[in-house]
């Protein structure tokens, strides 16, 4: 298993509100540290530390083509609103410069654009005021910005793009094999997560949609390899986070080449999407599939739904699979309420890989939520055990 990690993902550290009380955000660097620790203990994992790029000798293999920072920027501007990205990059420093906060403080939105205001043309435009802009570009207060947030957001995006590269561009695996090899599965340790983010709004701890970027990166790399041909791969996105990935659904809603399938808590955050009747629009009709399930759902009931979701994905016959994986389905998670235990993640992954077609499909396992960091490492290990078990 190839694991992609970047230490800059740890730089994002925010606070959030519980009622009127500010607490350190549950989406914390400790999540990644906990997962990485467990993965490093298993020597079957090849961990690619992207931040060591400047010291190529430290890399576990020679690279064919170094990942360019420009490409990440290009794909970001292709998939997200330009002034939104500028906002993410500059807002914190601008607040500090205006003396609104100290450098180590986190900034939060406060005034949101009322959706009912349809009369003023000005309300469509980003406000000049940097204080107001926080609310213009966010849909909730769980997406604050700290000093290191932009670096972490970029690192997370870079991980998503690198995952797509490893799936599509042959890589020489030094020592292990003299042949050029394409990876079958890449585990992308993205943080911050992405599935709630649309093209111009942060929310639910998400700032940039990493799954969207990975799809665009797959397009980029495939078409770069076969110039003259336009390859549009069929990509299935299976969202197993406890929460509906409204941002991912939105981005591909009219797209028949991307099937979005999500299993998530019924009537839970983000509240306004994730219903069964959301099946896609125009040519994307039939290519969006939501399975909202009630709180307290048992492992047995969950697996039955997953089986149905997998049948749907199998019928689609995808070329690639992206699993938006959140461990907030864990029974102890403070933000989820399913009744899944550590060993259920093994069953879950086994189910995803159980059909002949999907057993060998190139896949990105991409991290979304999951907040019980004491169990995150073991839960990931369990999932990977089930994933590899069938290969
Ligand atoms: C509470 C945050 C509300 C829930 C956010 C859910 C984030 C998540 N302040 N999405 O997958 O895990
Ligand atoms: Zn979640």
Atom number of ligand 1 nearest to Cα 370:
12
Write the residue with the smallest CA distance to atom 9 of ligand 1: 142
Ligand 1 pocket at CB < 6 A: 16, 142, 196, 204-205, 241, 243, 269, 326, 328, 335, 368-369
Pocket test for ligand 1, best of 16, 269, 325 (most atoms within 8 A of CB): 269
20-29, 79-88, 105-114, 173-182 — which is least confidently predicted?
173-182
Nearest listed ligand to the Cα of residue 196:
1
pLDDT, position 230: 87
pLDDT over 70 percentage in the chain: 91
Centre of ligand 1 from the C-alpha of residue 361, in Å: 30
Q: Residue for token digits 């078409």? A: 223
Residues 6+ apart with CB under 8 A from 356: none
- Which is more confident, 180 or 44? 44
Centre of ligand 1 from the C-alpha of residue 269, in Å: 7
pLDDT, position 59: 44
pLDDT grade for 175, boundaries at 50, 70 and 90: very low
pLDDT, position 317: 97
pLDDT, position 174: 43
Write the residue with the smallest CA distance to atom 7 of ligand 1: 204
Tokens representing 131 are: 């204080």
pLDDT, position 308: 98
Centre of ligand 2 from the C-alpha of residue 333, in Å: 10
Write the residue with the smallest CA distance to atom 1 of ligand 1: 142
Q: 325 with 365: CB under 8 angstroms? A: yes
Pocket test for ligand 1, best of 201, 205, 237 (most atoms within 8 A of CB): 205
pLDDT over 90 percentage in the chain: 79
Centre of ligand 2 from the C-alpha of residue 388, in Å: 24
Give the number of C-alpha atoms closer than 13 A to the C-alpha of residue 244, restricted to the C-beta side.
23
pLDDT at 209 over 70: yes
Nearest listed ligand to the Cα of residue 269:
1
Centre of ligand 1 from the C-alpha of residue 205, in Å: 6
pLDDT at 63 over 70: no
Atom number of ligand 1 nearest to Cα 142:
9
> Which of 119-123, 165-169, 275-279, 295-299 is modeled with the greatest confidence?
275-279
pLDDT at 183 over 90: no
pLDDT grade for 57, boundaries at 50, 70 and 90: very low
The answer, as to whether pTM is greater than 0.90, is: yes
Write the residue with the smallest CA distance to atom 5 of ligand 1: 204
In the residue annotation, 196 being an active-site residue is answered as yes
| Rounded Cα distance, 355 and 357, in Å | 5
Question: Which of 6, 196, 219, 264 is an active site residue?
Answer: 196
| All domains in the chain, ordered by first residue | 2-81+148-389 (3.40.800.20), 82-136 (no CATH)
ipTM, interface predicted TM-score of the complex: 0.98
- Mean pLDDT for 246-256 is 98
Write the residue with the smallest CA distance to atom 12 of ligand 1: 369
Model confidence pLDDT, tens digit, residues 132-149: 999 999 999 999 999 999
pLDDT, position 20: 95
Pocket test for ligand 1, best of 20, 144, 243 (most atoms within 8 A of CB): 243
Centre of ligand 1 from the C-alpha of residue 122, in Å: 30
Atom number of ligand 1 nearest to Cα 269:
4
- Which is more confident, 67 or 354? 354
Q: Count the residues in the chain.
A: 391
């Amino acid at each position: 298993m190839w694991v992609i990690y970047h230490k800059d993902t740890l730089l994002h550290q925010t606070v959030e509100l519980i009622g009127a009380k500010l607490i350190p955000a549950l989406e914390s660097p400790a999540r990644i540290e906990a997962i990485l620790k467990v993965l490093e203990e298993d020597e079957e994992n090849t961990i690619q530390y992207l931040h060591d790029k400047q010291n190529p000798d430290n890399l576990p293999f020679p690279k064919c083509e170094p990942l360019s920072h420009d490409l990440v920027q290009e794909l970001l501007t292709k998939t997200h609103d330009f002034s939104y990205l500028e906002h993410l990059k500059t807002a914190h420093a601008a607040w500090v410069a205006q003396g609104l906060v100290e450098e180590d403080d986190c900034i939060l939105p406060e005034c949101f654009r009322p959706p009912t205001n349809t009369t003023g043309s000005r309300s469509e435009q980003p406000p000049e005021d940097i204080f107001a802009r926080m609310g213009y570009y966010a849909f909730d207060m769980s997406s604050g910005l700290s000093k290191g947030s932009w670096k972490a957001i970029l690192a997370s995006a870079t991980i998503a793009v690198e995952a797509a590269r490893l799936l599509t561009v042959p890589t020489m695996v030094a020592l292990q094999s003299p042949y050029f090899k394409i990876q079958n599965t890449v585990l992308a340790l993205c943080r911050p997560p992405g599935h709630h983010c649309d093209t111009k709004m942060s929310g639910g701890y998400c700032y940039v949609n990493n799954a969207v970027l990975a799809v665009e990166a797959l397009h980029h790399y495939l078409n770069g390899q076969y110039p003259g041909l336009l390859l549009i791969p069929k990509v299935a996105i299976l969202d197993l986070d406890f929460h509906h990935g409204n941002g991912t659904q939105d981005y591909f809603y009219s797209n028949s080449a991307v099937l979005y399938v999500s299993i998530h808590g019924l009537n839970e955050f983000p509240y306004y999407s994730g219903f069964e009747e959301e099946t896609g629009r125009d040519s994307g009709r039939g290519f969006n599939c939501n399975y909202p399930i009630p709180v307290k759902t048992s492992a047995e009931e969950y697996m039955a739904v997953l089986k149905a979701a997998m049948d749907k994905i199998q019928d689609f016959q995808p070329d690639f699979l992206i699993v938006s994986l959140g461990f907030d389905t864990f029974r102890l998670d403070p933000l989820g309420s399913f009744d899944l235990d550590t060993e259920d993640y093994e069953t879950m992954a086994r189910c995803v890989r159980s059909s002949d077609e999907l057993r060998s499909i190139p896949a990105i396992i991409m991290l979304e939520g999951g907040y019980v960091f004491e169990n995150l490492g073991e839960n990931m290990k369990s999932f990977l055990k089930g994933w590899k078990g069938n290969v």
